[in-house]
Amino acid sequence: MSRIFRIATRRSKMAMVQTTAIIAALQKVAPEHSYEVYEVVADGDYDKFQGDLKRLGIAGGGKGAFVKALEIALLENRADMAMHSMKDVPGEVDLPQGLVIPAMMERQDVRDAVVCRAGESLATLPPGARIGSSSVRRAAQMRRAFPQFEIVPLRGNADTRVAKVDSGEVDAAILSYAGLGRIGLQHRVTDVLEPDLMLPAVGQGAVGIECRADDAEALRVLKLINHPDTFACVNTERTMLKLLQGSCHTPIAGVARCVGDEILFEALVSSLDGSEILHSNAQMPYAEGEKLGAAVARDLLAKGANRLLNEATKEDE
């Protein structure tokens, strides 16, 4: 029997592009169904929700606010699926009771990128130039790699941050290379930061789709568009993140890669100023991704990750 699947998403340009890609993929593998975009606004959803947010693992605020708003739409049956940029899905807690992420689209470029004004690049910016970033992970690694620059907070969606570069509010901005490409701004990239200089965020470049655990047909069609390597690598990274109790307020980075029948995983924990960085890397068979993520987390903890994470959390407060 055919259904209309409503896919919850943010209203941003990037979110819409990603949701449209999901719909196109679903239409190819399950054309018997119809698919609609369901736009969600985070503000106020917590107050209107009638369930127990704490019991469901939903607590408002912070970078995960939009993720939680989409999850509430699922729990209230206003939507059947939800699109997430996996780097934004909180890693320190389990998904809300009754929800699962059974599929991830093929991962795009994991690297970070720099946007400067026309004719400029990191190499031409003078000492003291203001580099904007919305991420403590990026800020910490930039401070270590480019101590001559001033790293400052920069908020807003990707096109807003690029506009702040053009207006002179900052001299450059650090953003996701894949994200810039999704909204047609790849031509604005002046520098691409390789992982040995700027290790990416957990889940960066990957898009996941969440649904209710008891929706058999949604689970079936979503698994048809799942990219197994992306799914294995991102879950490896998220296992590490959960064991470290990492969030958007903690300077944690990590990226896993599938090479043959193994997964290679590199991760780090940093002080906020970038003066101290703890590295870990390991590899295990493809089927042991969660075990690999746990091993890297334990190695980082043994090297003192808790101390850096606690200091970062206190400073953020």
Q: What is the pTM of this model?
A: 0.90
Residue 94 designated active-site: no
Residue carrying structure tokens 């924990």: 269
Mean pLDDT of the 145-169 span: 94
Write down the catalytic residue from 45, 88, 191, 316: 88
pLDDT beyond 70 at 138:
yes
Cβ burial, residue 259 (10 Å; 0-12/13-18/19+) = exposed
Lowest mean pLDDT among 54-58, 169-173, 240-244: 54-58
- The pLDDT score that the predictor gives to residue 42 is 63
pLDDT beyond 80 at 62:
no
- For residue 56, name the pLDDT band (cuts at 50, 70, 90): very low
- For residue 228, name the pLDDT band (cuts at 50, 70, 90): very high
- The pLDDT score that the predictor gives to residue 46 is 40
Mean pLDDT of the 81-87 span: 96
CA distance 170 to 232: 37
Per DSSP bridges, beta strands 4-9 and 130-133 are unpaired
pLDDT beyond 90 at 63:
no
- For residue 11, name the pLDDT band (cuts at 50, 70, 90): confident
| Token code pair at residue 102 | 């059974």
- Helix (H), strand (E), coil (C) string for 206-217: CEEEEEECCCHH
* More reliable by pLDDT, 176 or 59: 176
- For residue 287, name the pLDDT band (cuts at 50, 70, 90): very high
The DSSP result for 219-274, as a single string, is: HHHHHHS--HHHHHHHHHHHHHHHHTT--TTS-EEEEEEEETTEEEEEEEEE-TTS
- HSE-CB for 267 with a 13 A CA cutoff: 33
pLDDT beyond 70 at 253:
yes
Rg of the chain, C-alpha, whole Å = 19
* More reliable by pLDDT, 56 or 70: 70
- The pLDDT score that the predictor gives to residue 248 is 65
Task: Return mean pLDDT, the chain.
Answer: 91
- The pLDDT score that the predictor gives to residue 156 is 86
- HSE-CB for 178 with a 13 A CA cutoff: 19
